[in-house]
Amino acid sequence: MSAGPTPRPAYRSCAEHDVDLSTREGCLARARQNDAEEQIFVLRDCYGAERRFNGYQMANYARFARLRRGELMGGDAGAALVDEASAEVRRSGVADPARMACAFMAPVR
């Protein structure tokens, strides 16, 4: 007797594990193939970019992740994240945060 289709596996939080950069990049690549809600999850929870990059003293990477998450979220809350992250990147000496973000973290849409 068939139990039906195999359920889609639940995501685990990559941030809970000490994963190397290639694994985190794999999470981001997976996000590019899915809908915006899942992309936001991957950037925030699975990719764990903001927290992990801050932990490695790579603050602008964390800001770029927050900028990307804001773009995906859209609306007022998303725009606020983009504005906040962009302002922080500018204060670090980067003239064009959106362009620099593309160099370090490709758009996920």
Q: Is 38 exposed, middle or buried (0-12, 13-18, 19+ CB in 10 A)?
A: middle
Kindly report which listed range (30-34, 59-63, 90-94, 104-108) carries the lowest average pLDDT score.
Answer: 30-34
Task: Decide: 63 and 23 in contact? Cβ < 8 Å.
Answer: no
What pLDDT score was predicted for residue 18? 39
pLDDT digit string, tens, across residues 22-64: 555 666 666 566 667 766 776 666 556 667 776 666 788 888 8
What's the mean pLDDT in 84-95? Answer: 93
Q: Domain segments of the chain: what residues?
A: 20-104
| pTM over the 0.75 mark | no
What pLDDT score was predicted for residue 17? 38
